[in-house]
Amino acid sequence: MNDATRGTGGPGDGTRAVRAGLPEPVKHEPTLPGPVFAAHFHLPGDPTGPYTYGRDENPTWTLLERAVGELEAPGRDGVETLVFASGMAAISAVLFSQLRAGDAVVLPDDGYQALPLARAQLEAYGIEVRTAPTGGDAQLEVLDGAKLLWIETPSNPGLDVCDVRRLAEAAHARGALVAVDNTLATPLGQRPLELGADFAVASGTKQLTGHGDVLLGYVTGRDAEAMAAVRRWRKITGAIPGPMEAWLAHRSIATLQLRVERQNATAMRLAEALRERTEVTGLRYPGLPDDPSHKIASQQMRRYGCVVSFTLPSRERADRFLEALRLVDDATSFGGVRSTAERRGRWGGDAVPEGFVRFSVGAEDPEDLIADVLRALDATAG
Ligand SMILES: Cc1ncc(COP(=O)(O)O)c(C=O)c1O
């Protein structure tokens, strides 16, 4: 791994994570102020900000938005972050605030499984949707005349990676904006704005908050006009996080570097262990030197994520394997401190084999987790 903690000079990632977004110390005040539960704020006279009505602004969001912005775009001026009720709320905010009838957008055809629903809605509004696979930079073929390029890298669940810098240059040369779904990498794994993107968008439900108890999303962007439209969209749809969720998220970010470091290192070890198993095919982890994603990933990512994907010989074998695991919950989502895994084909939305397993590595002791996986594979052989 390259020097993951000191990507831009200045403090390391652990230091930045524990201090991200904290207000200046005030005597007798807590380090991280508690959630502000308010539908409205005292507002005599002309209705000017910062805090007027709870659908527009909230002091707990302000601190969280500052924290995410410091991690996504350290040291960059003019960058704004807005938090949302979920990752899909954030994704929809960018898509539907930036695109109009007659515009064209490029989406991945192998991205998160709710994207096809967004696609159908975009098309219903008269927006042309073109798709391309994530790997191989095939987006270049369909960029002409597009208003927005949407990238998800690494992709969920296939873990393909595309060259953000190359695609952003090509898109900008054609006048298109670029958004990167940074959910899987987290801002400690990849910083899309530094790679040339206009928006970093993510589900904070996953590794960013990491405890499987919060739904959250965010958009970080550097174009003031585009971000004003995203903000307006949040106000129109009311897709806002509750103060409690925002506060929990901020508290969780303090341990982001610890969790990412542990989970991603164990993911690498698990991938290495799975490589030795004859019943495992289609093993994918961008950190493996021989993974198809590794070359580009090593150029643009600072850490490779906590998700490992692989295929077992059949649906039955995968189901029995998941049932035999003792330390791993059979559950969807990823990024939490407790390992989860699922047979992804059960949802029907992804183009994956029946025995395809998406495995999210948690913060358990690596020896315990890998022993559990190998035992479950042995127990379900034959
Ligand atoms: C890559 C990616 N983007 C976006 C989302 C949507 O996030 P949320 O569930 O918080 O709406 C997910 C959810 O799994 C995801 O995996």
Same domain for 236 and 321, yes or no, is no
| Whether residue 183 sits in one domain with residue 63 | yes
Q: Give tens-digit pLDDT for 179-203.
A: 999 999 999 999 999 999 999 999 9
Segment 76-122, tens digit of pLDDT: 999 999 999 999 999 999 999 999 999 999 999 999 999 999 999 99
List residues near ligand 1 (CB under 6 A): 86-88, 91, 112, 152, 156, 181, 183-184, 203, 205, 215, 217, 333
Listed residues 226, 253, 280: the one ending a domain: 253
Domain limits for position 313 = 264-379
Claim to verify: residue 201 and residue 289 sit in the same structural domain: no
CA 364 to centroid of chain Cα atoms: 22
| 354 and 333 within one domain | yes
How remote is the CA of residue 88 from the centroid of ligand 1, in Å?
A: 6
How far does residue 307's CA lie from ligand 1's centre (Å)? Answer: 14
1 pLDDT higher than 50:
no
Residues 150, 126 share a domain:
yes
The string of pLDDT tens digits covering residues 337-381 is 999 999 999 999 889 999 999 999 999 999 999 999 999 999 999
Q: Which residue has the least CA distance to atom 14 on ligand 1?
A: 333
| Residue 169 falls inside a structural domain | yes
Atom of ligand 1 nearest to the CA of 217: 10
- 112 CA to centre of ligand 1 in angstroms: 7
Same structural domain for residues 336 and 201?
no
Instruction: Calculate how far, in angstroms, residue 56's C-alpha sits from the geometric centre of ligand 1.
Output: 23
Question: Which CATH number fits the domain that encloses residue 342?
Answer: 3.90.1150.10
Residues 192 and 145 in one domain: yes
How many structural domains is the chain composed of? 2
Residue 191 in any domain: the answer is: yes
- Region 288-295: mean pLDDT is 98
3-state secondary structure the chain: CCCCCCCCCCCCHHHHHHHCCCCCCCCCCCCCCCCCCCCECCCCCCCCCCCCECCCCCHHHHHHHHHHHHHHCCCCCCCEEEEECCHHHHHHHHHHHHCCCCCEEEEECCCCCCHHHHHHHHHHCCCEEEEECCHHHHHHHHCCCCCEEEEECCCCCCCCCCCHHHHHHHHHHCCCEEEEECCCCCCCCCCCCCCCCCEEEEECCCCCCCCCCCCCEEEEECCHHHHHHHHHHHHHHCCCCCHHHHHHHHHHHCCHHHHHHHHHHHHHHHHHHHHCCCCCEEEECCCCCCCCCHHHHHHHCCCCCCEEEEECCCHHHHHHHHHHCCCCEECCCCCCCCCEEEEHHHHCCCCCCCCEEEEECCCCCHHHHHHHHHHHHHHCCC
Confidence of residue 8 (pLDDT cuts 50, 70, 90): low
Q: What is the pLDDT of residue 153?
A: 98
Residue at 40 is within a domain: yes
Residues 174, 275 within the same domain:
no
Own/partner long-range contacts of 118-123 (Cβ < 8 Å, ≥24 apart): 118/88, 118/91, 118/92, 121/96, 122/95, 122/96
| CATH number for 179 | 3.40.640.10
Kindly report the pTM of this predicted structure.
0.97
2 in a domain, yes or no? Answer: no
| Ligand 1: residue whose CA is nearest its atom 15 | 112
